[in-house]
Structure 1
C-alpha cells in the first residue's frame, strides 16, 4: 500500500471518530496493519499500539460469546467493576443495561456510537441504555480506559466506550439465536436480518433485529427462595414486617408489633417467622423484548481531483424496549390509624396498620420505551489533505410507563375509616353507617376490618388500588464541526506535526408528566409533580501532536500530544479542561506511554431539576442501644422512650424524599496513566501491555444518606439546630402520622421526612494496574488466538462528605457509592480466552474470575463476611457449511457456578450486580449469508 493511499484510508476512518487497536482484537488471523487510536481526533498511523490504554473487541468476539445483548458482554470485562445495572437488577432498575468503568458509575463512563453522543434512554441521569444498540450492527467496540474530557467533554471521567457500527457490509445475512438454562427457564431469542449494497458512489446498509428474554423468579433458585437472616449461628428464612395478616403498632415503645394469629384468631406479638417472603413475587432475571431498525448510507457528492471531495452520510436508529419488573404486593407502609375505641380494635390502644395487600398480587412496573436517533452530515478532504466533517444529531426517547398494583393512599384510608358505629344511650353498638360521604357512591367501597383478613374483598382491592401512568421524554440535539490536518508538512521526523480542532453545540431537554392520582398525592411513594428542565452548551477544542525524535540510538520515537477543550454551559458556567500525553519508544519493540487528563461531569437534568420523590431507606438508628453521652442526651430530648425502643431496632425503614438542586456545580477530576507495550520482534503477533492508572474525582454529586443525616444530627452538640437536623423535616412532610417520639419521627418511632437533596459533597480516589497479553499463531491447519486481560484494583477510596470517614472498598463488598446497592470491588478480575479456528470449524473457551472480597463492615455475628474467588468457564464451537452457513453453540458457566451467599437480606442473599445468578446456560446460533 502506498503512503498516499494509506494516509487517505487512515484519515477517512478517523473522520467519523473511529478507532482501532488490532493487538487487542479477538478475531482470527487478522493482518496487523497501521491503524488509528481512540482518545484523539488527530489523524495519524500507529503500529498495533496506542498512546492511551485501549481494548478493542470486534464482531467475531461478540458473536463467539453467545451473548444476545451488549450489556452481558461488557460487564464481564476486568475494567468494569462495582454496581452495574442489568437483567439481574429487579428492584429500582427501569430496565436499564449500563457499564461502570473503574467502578465510578455509568454517568462517568461516556458511551458513544460512531464517535457521537447517544441520548440517555429510559433514565434521566444521563446514563446510556445499552439495550438501545442492536448487537448485530456492531463492527467493533473500543474501550478507552483513561479520562478524555479534553476530547469528548463531559462524562468522560473514567473512560469511553465507543461502539462502531458496520458501514461497508455487502450482501444479506440472517441470524437466529436461542438459549435456555439447565433449569429449563430464562429462555433468550435473537433474530436479525442485515442487508448492504455498494452503489456507484456510495454504500447503504439496513438492519432489523429482535431480541427477547424470559423472566426467572427468585423463588426458582435455591439461593434466593426466601430472604435469609441469621441468628444464633443459624441461617433461616425471614421477611418483611409489612405482612399478611397485618401488623399493628402502638405509640408505646415497649410494645412490640402485634398480629392476629391466623390459627387462633388471637392477638399476639409479631415473630420473625411472621415476616413476609417477598422473594416469591420478585424477579431474579427481568423479562424484556427489544425491536430495532438501523440504517446507514453514504454518497459521494463531489470529487475534484487534487482539490476537494464532499460526501453526504446519514444514520438512523429506532429501538423499542418493552421491559417489566415485579416486586412484592403493595403494603400500607404509611400506617393508617385505628382509634382505641374502634370495636374492631382488640388491643385497646390507638394503633396504625402495616399490611401487605397480597390479594392484589405483585407490583408490576412496565416500560414501553421508544428511542429515535438520526444523524445527517457531510465530510470531505481539502486539497492540503485536511479532513473535515459537519453533522447534526437529533435523538429522542419517550417512555410511557405503567405501574400496576399501587395503593391509592386516600382510598385505602377511606376503607379503613369507612364505618361509624351507631350506639344506644348505654354505649352498645346497634348498627353501622358509612363514615365517608364518598364511600356509598362507589359500589366497590366497603367496610374493612384489618383484624380480620377475610374482610378485604376483591371489590375493596379494586377501590383501593390505582394504576400509575407517568410519561418521560428526553431530547438531544447536537451540531458538530471537526477539522484535522498537519502543519503544512512541518516535521522533525517522518511523521508530520498534526492538529485537530472543532466546535460543538449541544442541548438536552426533559419533560415528565404524571397522572391525576399522583398529582393529588394519592399514590404512596410516587412522585406527584410534573416537571421539565433543559440545558445547552457550546464547546470548542484543539489538539496537537508533535513527534520530535525518531530512529535515534536511544529513541526510536519520542512524541508529545496536548489538547484542551472549552465548555460553556447555561447551567454551570464555563471551564477549560486540559490533557497531555507523552509517547517514548527506546526500541522499536518497546514503547512507554503516559498521560495526564483533567475531566469534568456536568450535572444531569434530574440532578438539577427533579422534584421531591418519596423513598424508603433502611438505616441504623443511633438512639437504639446508644452509649455516647451526647447521642443519649439528644435522643432523650426528642423522647425518653427512644433509647432501646424495639421499634427502631434491626435496621428500620425511614420514609424520606429525593430532590434535585439547581445550584449544583460540576464534578471535576484528574487522571493519570503510565504504561508500556512490548511487542517482541522475535515472535510474530505477540504483545504484552502493562498500565498503571489513577483517577481522582472532586465535588462528586451525591446526597447525604439517611444514616449520615441521622447520625450527624444526633451526634451534634448543637442538636437540634444544625444543618443535618434541618434536613429531617418530620413525618408530615411525607404524609405520615406524628406520634410521641419527637418532631423528626413518625408514630412508629422511625425517622421520617429526611431530605436527600443532590449536592457536590463527595470524593473518589481509585487506582490500579491493567495487564494484557495477546498471541496469534498458526497451528496445524488453522490458527490459535489467545488473550488475557487482568485488572488489579489497588485502592477505591470514597468519602461521602467532609463529615464522613473515608472508606476503601478495594477487595471489599459493601454499599456501592454510586448505586447505593451492595456490590463487590475485588482486587483482581481476570478475563482469558483461547480459540482455535480451522477452515470449517472452530472451538474456544473463556475463563473469568472475580477475586475474593471481604465485608467492609463485618458484624461479628454475621456468618458470611468473606467471599472466595469465583471462577466461571464458557465453552463454544462453530461449524461452517459451504462458507455461507455458520452453525455455532456453547455453554456459559459450564460448571454451574452458583453465586456466593452473603449476609444481604434485601438482595437475593448474594451480590447480583457482580455474580452470575442464572447458572449454566446453553445457546445455539445459525447464520446464513448471501
Structure 2
C-alpha cells in the first residue's frame, strides 16, 4: 500500500502513476472523504491532496482521524449556493443555528453556524485556509454567511477532537474552508429559487476573478457573493402548519397508574393563556362573577370557550388547549428567517524570490435579517394586565357586575395581536485583513509567518418593542372629572407623572388607538463589536530518514487577542422592554500557544504491511484561566494492501468565550413548577449570566476505524469509524428547575431565586463548570465509481451516522440522553436521531450531468423516558427527502464554458414529522432536523472563461 509519507517522496521523484496517486489519496481522505471531481473529462479522481487534512505536517501520512472532503464540483452539482446548506446534509452535522432555527432570535436571526455532533457551534472550530477567522459574535462562532463562497475550492471536515493540532474549540472537530488561491480566469454564477408554495425566494449572484503576471510571480484573486433569501414568514403558509399540532394536558388524567396519558399530542392546539381581545381567567384570581370570560372585537363581553381539552386546573399544566376561544399563536410564527448577505475577498501573492512568497488578504462580509419574532403577550411570564374598577374602558355590562360584587380589579390575559409583532432587525459586518510570508529551504522544510486583524460590527434592533412602564401607565386609565376625557391616572388633575401618556383600551381586539400604541412602543437598540488579532508562525519538514520513510515534524506558535463590547440602550439596561433587555458587556482575553507534531513511519513491508504513528502536543496559556496542555496520539496500520486500521486518542479543550465570561444577563422564559405555591406550573423569567471564574472545558476523545479498498473491486472504498467524546467540566448553567427545587428543599441557592407575593417570579442561571457531555457513535461511508456505464461515469456515495449516546448531565449527577430523541424539547437540548444517512449518485455523460440524492432522517422518541401514562403518542416518524439536479455544459471556447443547471429539492414535498415545540407560539415540528420549506425549485447559469 502507498502511504502518504511515501506519496510525498513519490511526487517529488515523479515516480507515481495516476492510479497509485488516486488510491493513496482516497485512503487518506476517507471516511466521508474520497473526492471524485467531476470535470469535463469524466469521473477520474483528479484532486491529489498530499497534505493530510488532519495535520499540519507538509509531507503528510495517512490521517488517523476521519476526514470528510467536499469539493467545489460537489457543491455545484447539488446547485446549492450556501456551503452551510450542504454541510448540514452531512450526517455528522446538526443544523442547530440556521435561518429555520433562529426565527425567535434577537441577534442571530438568519445566521448559519456549523455544529458538529450537536455539541454546539462553540465546540466546532471553523477555519479559512487553516487559519482562524474573525468571530461574528461574542461566543467566538463564525457566521458562514460572511465568507465569500465563490472562492471556496473545497471543505475539509475533521471529526473528533483536534485541539492539539489546531487550537482550543476543536472539541467536536474542525471545518476548514479551503479557498481557490490559484484561480485564473473568471467565473460567474447566477441562480434563482422558489418554494412550491410561492415563497422562500432566493436570488444569488457570485463572481470570481483571478489573474497572474506574465512572469508568473504575482497572482491576484478576487471574489464576491450576493444572496437574498425571503424566508417563510408564517407557519400557517404550510398545510401541515395549519393543522396546529401541539401538546396539551389531558383533563381526563387522574393519576400515574390510571392508564390515561397525562399529555396529548393532537391537532388544533391553541394557546389557552390569553385571547387577542382579552381574557379573564379564574386562575389569575378573578372574581367568579366575571371569570372565564373574554372580549370580542367590538369589546362585547362574552363567555370563554375552554375547548375540547382545556388546561387542567386552569394553568396547572401546559398552557394550551384544543379549539375553543384560545389563540392560534403559532400561525404567524416564522419557519425560516429572511436574510440578505454580501461578501467580498481579495487574495494576492508575490514571489519575492524563488523560495520566499509574500501574501495578503482582505475580506468584507455583511449580513442582515429582518423578521417578525413574537407578539408582546401579557399573561403569565409577561405579567397579566391589572385593570382597576374605575377604568372608563370597561364595558358597561361588566362594570355593573363589578359594582354589584365590589370587585376592585380585573386581571386580564391578552395576546395583543393588535399591538403588532416585535420585529428583529439584525446587521453584522465583518472586515478582516491578513498579511504574511512563506517559503522553504533545504528542499525539505517549509515555513510561514502571518498576522491578521479583524472586526465585526453588529447592530440588533427590536422594532415595535413594548416599553413596559409606558404600557402600565397607559393601562391605568381614568376619566378626568374636570374635562370628561379619558386620561392616564399618573397625569390626572394636571399631574405629569407619565409625560405623553395616552390611555390604552384593551377591551377587544383592535381597541387600542394608534396614539396609545405609539406611546407604549419603542425600538430596542443593541450595538456590539468583536475584535481579533492573530500572529502565527510555523515550520514543517522531514527531520530524518528511517527504513520505512522520513520522519515528519511540525512546530509553531500563535498569539491571539480577542475582545468584545456590547452597548444596549438605556431602557434595555433598566429592563424596560418586553424582550431583549441586555446589559452592557465589555471583555477581552489573550492567548499564547505553542505546538509540536511528529509523524513516524514505523513499518513498510514488501507485502503491503504498513504502520505509521503520529503525536501532537500543544501548550495554551489563557490570560483568563492560565495554562492548559492538549495532546493527541494516533496510528494507522495496514496488515495488507486492501485494509487499513486507524485510531486516535486525544485530550482537547474549549476555553470559555467572552460572552460566557463577562455577560451579565440575558432574559429567557421557562415553564417551571413552583413548589412555593403548591406545585403550579408557571412561565418564569430566567436571566442567564456569565462567570469570570470559568475554567476551560476538558474533553477526552477516542476514535477507531477501518478503511477497506479491495483490489478485486476497483474504485470502491468502504470505511467505518467509531468515536467517543467525553466532555468534563462543560460550561453550563444549573437548570432553573434544579435551582428552584434545591432552594425549596434545602435553602441552598436561594440567592438565585426571586419570589413575588409568595410565588416564583425569577430564577437566575449562572454559568459554571459542572456539566458533562458525552457523544458516541459510528460514521460509515461507501464510495463506488463506475467509469463506463452506458457511455458515462456514475459515482455513488453513501454517508451514514449512527448515534449511540448523546448525553448531557447538567449537574454532573443526573444524566439526560437524547440519542434517539428527536423532539425539539429533548431533555439535554440535543435532539438526535439514532440514524441519519445520505445516498447520492452523480452520472456524467458528455456535456450532461445529473445528481440524485436520497436523504434519510431517522425517527425516534418525542421525549425521553416516556410511557403510555405520560403521553399518548411518543413516536416520531422517520422521513426521506429526494433531491434532484441536472447541469448541461455548452463549450464557448478552449477555456470558456456556459453551464445551465436546475433542480428540485424535496421532490415529493414531504411534510416534516409531527414533533411540536412546547412554547408560547408553538411550532408543529423540529426545525433543527426537518425541512420546513417543502418542495423547492431552482435554476441558474454558470459562466467560466
| TM-score (normalised: structure 1) | 0.87
Residues 1:512 and 1:548: Cα distance change in structure 2 (over 3 Å):
same
CA contact (8 A) 1:389 1:481 kept: yes
SS of residue paired to 1:278:
coil
Q: Give the Cα separation in 1 of the matches to 2:702 and 2:604.
A: 25
Q: CA deviation at 1:890?
A: 1.2
Q: Give the Cα separation in 1 of the matches to 2:115 and 2:484.
A: 66
- Residue 347 (structure 2) pairs with residue 296 (structure 1): yes
SS of residue paired to 2:331:
helix
Q: CA deviation at 1:830?
A: 0.6
Q: CA deviation at 1:436?
A: 2.3
| TM-score (normalised: structure 2) | 0.86
Q: CA deviation at 1:685?
A: 2.0
Q: Give the Cα separation in 2 of the matches to 1:920 and 1:752.
A: 44
- Residue 246 (structure 2) pairs with residue 228 (structure 1): yes
CA contact (8 A) 1:678 1:687 kept: yes
For 1:45-91, what per-residue CA distance to the aligned partner results, in whole angstroms no more than 9, with x for missing partners?
A: 45xx5321001010011111122211211111111137343335311
Residues 1:817 and 1:432: Cα distance change in structure 2 (over 3 Å):
closer
> Which of 806, 809, 814 pairs up with 1:799?
809
Q: CA deviation at 1:361?
A: 1.8
- Structure with more contact order per residue of length (Cα contacts < 8 Å, sep ≥ 6): 2
Q: Give the Cα separation in 2 of the matches to 1:95 and 1:475.
A: 22
Q: Give the Cα separation in 1 of the matches to 2:45 and 2:495.
A: 75
Aligned equivalent of 1:691: 721
- Residue 878 (structure 2) pairs with residue 876 (structure 1): no
SS of residue paired to 1:410:
helix
CA contact (8 A) 1:862 1:903 kept: no
For 1:336-378, what per-residue CA distance to the aligned partner results, in whole angstroms no more than 9, with x for missing partners?
A: 5334565666451434444333333211101121111221110
CA contact (8 A) 2:280 2:294 kept: no
Residues 1:413 and 1:922: Cα distance change in structure 2 (over 3 Å):
same
For 1:308-343, what per-residue CA distance to the aligned partner results, in whole angstroms no more than 9, with x for missing partners?
A: x11001122211111122123222323353345656
Q: Give the Cα separation in 2 of the matches to 1:2 and 1:872.
A: 40
Q: CA deviation at 1:402?
A: 1.6
SS of residue paired to 1:812:
coil
Aligned equivalent of 2:147: 133
Q: CA deviation at 1:192?
A: 1.1
Residues 1:255 and 1:390: Cα distance change in structure 2 (over 3 Å):
farther
Q: CA deviation at 1:204?
A: 1.0
Q: Give the Cα separation in 2 of the matches to 1:454 and 1:920.
A: 37
> Which of 572, 578, 587 pairs up with 1:533?
587
Q: CA deviation at 1:103?
A: 1.5
Q: CA deviation at 1:863?
A: 4.2
Matches within 5 A, 1:779-818: 779=788, 780-802=790-812, 805-814=814-823
CA contact (8 A) 1:387 1:483 kept: yes
Q: CA deviation at 1:754?
A: 0.3
For 1:600-640, what per-residue CA distance to the aligned partner results, in whole angstroms no more than 9, with x for missing partners?
A: 10001110111122221123x154xxxxxxxxxxx4xxxxx
Q: Give the Cα separation in 2 of the matches to 1:667 and 1:566.
A: 15
Residues 1:251 and 1:904: Cα distance change in structure 2 (over 3 Å):
closer
Matches within 5 A, 1:357-506: 357-383=416-442, 385-419=444-478, 422=481, 434-437=488-491, 445-451=501-507, 455-487=511-543, 489-493=544-548, 495-506=549-560
> 224-233 vs 61-70, which deviates more?
224-233
Q: Give the Cα separation in 2 of the matches to 1:498 and 1:111.
A: 25
- Residue 764 (structure 2) pairs with residue 708 (structure 1): no
- Residue 825 (structure 2) pairs with residue 825 (structure 1): no
Q: Give the Cα separation in 2 of the matches to 1:792 and 1:291.
A: 37
For 1:227-260, what per-residue CA distance to the aligned partner results, in whole angstroms no more than 9, with x for missing partners?
A: 6344577532312624321234688669786543
Q: CA deviation at 1:219?
A: 1.6
Q: CA deviation at 1:472?
A: 1.2
For 1:565-620, what per-residue CA distance to the aligned partner results, in whole angstroms no more than 9, with x for missing partners?
A: 0000010111111110011111122111110010010001110111122221123x
- Residue 678 (structure 2) pairs with residue 643 (structure 1): yes
Residues 1:521 and 1:247: Cα distance change in structure 2 (over 3 Å):
same
Matches within 5 A, 1:101-112: 101-112=116-127
Q: Give the Cα separation in 2 of the matches to 1:86 and 1:415.
A: 36
Residues 1:544 and 1:255: Cα distance change in structure 2 (over 3 Å):
farther
Residues 1:815 and 1:173: Cα distance change in structure 2 (over 3 Å):
closer
Residues 1:490 and 1:857: Cα distance change in structure 2 (over 3 Å):
same
SS of residue paired to 1:684:
coil
- Residue 95 (structure 2) pairs with residue 86 (structure 1): no
SS of residue paired to 1:797:
strand
For 1:8-62, what per-residue CA distance to the aligned partner results, in whole angstroms no more than 9, with x for missing partners?
A: 999xxxxxxxx9838522423223746221221112245xx53210010100111
- Residue 866 (structure 2) pairs with residue 858 (structure 1): yes
Aligned equivalent of 2:335: 284
CA contact (8 A) 1:525 1:613 kept: no
CA contact (8 A) 2:211 2:220 kept: yes
Q: Give the Cα separation in 2 of the matches to 1:119 and 1:259.
A: 55
Structure 1 unaligned regions, length at least 5: 11-18, 304-308, 424-428, 624-634, 636-641, 731-737, 746-750
Q: CA deviation at 1:864?
A: 3.9
Aligned equivalent of 1:847: 854
> 232-241 vs 409-418, which deviates more?
232-241
CA contact (8 A) 2:617 2:631 kept: yes
Q: Give the Cα separation in 1 of the matches to 2:678 and 2:857.
A: 42
Residues 1:172 and 1:33: Cα distance change in structure 2 (over 3 Å):
closer
Aligned equivalent of 1:912: 927
Q: CA deviation at 1:857?
A: 4.3
- Residue 785 (structure 2) pairs with residue 729 (structure 1): no
Q: Give the Cα separation in 2 of the matches to 1:392 and 1:837.
A: 43
- Residue 593 (structure 2) pairs with residue 511 (structure 1): no
Q: Give the Cα separation in 2 of the matches to 1:431 and 1:393.
A: 65
Residues 1:219 and 1:590: Cα distance change in structure 2 (over 3 Å):
same
Residues 1:3 and 1:562: Cα distance change in structure 2 (over 3 Å):
closer
Q: Give the Cα separation in 2 of the matches to 1:687 and 1:433.
A: 78
Residues 1:265 and 1:682: Cα distance change in structure 2 (over 3 Å):
same
Matches within 5 A, 1:39-78: 39-46=54-61, 49-78=62-91
RMSD: 2.8
Aligned equivalent of 2:317: none
For 1:396-450, what per-residue CA distance to the aligned partner results, in whole angstroms no more than 9, with x for missing partners?
A: 1111222111001121111122436659xxxxx9886653249869996322343
Residues 1:435 and 1:88: Cα distance change in structure 2 (over 3 Å):
closer
> Which of 892, 896, 900 pairs up with 1:887?
900
Residues 1:862 and 1:764: Cα distance change in structure 2 (over 3 Å):
same
Q: Give the Cα separation in 1 of the matches to 2:228 and 2:720.
A: 39
Q: Give the Cα separation in 1 of the matches to 2:825 and 2:36.
A: 32
Q: Give the Cα separation in 1 of the matches to 2:743 and 2:224.
A: 56
Aligned equivalent of 2:845: 838
Aligned equivalent of 2:296: 262
CA contact (8 A) 2:474 2:503 kept: yes
Aligned equivalent of 1:324: 370
Residues 1:534 and 1:249: Cα distance change in structure 2 (over 3 Å):
farther
Residues 1:827 and 1:433: Cα distance change in structure 2 (over 3 Å):
closer
Q: How many residues align?
A: 859
For 1:107-154, what per-residue CA distance to the aligned partner results, in whole angstroms no more than 9, with x for missing partners?
A: 111111100112221x32122211122322110011101110111111
Q: Give the Cα separation in 1 of the matches to 2:157 and 2:203.
A: 27
Residues 1:363 and 1:227: Cα distance change in structure 2 (over 3 Å):
farther
Residues 1:384 and 1:463: Cα distance change in structure 2 (over 3 Å):
same
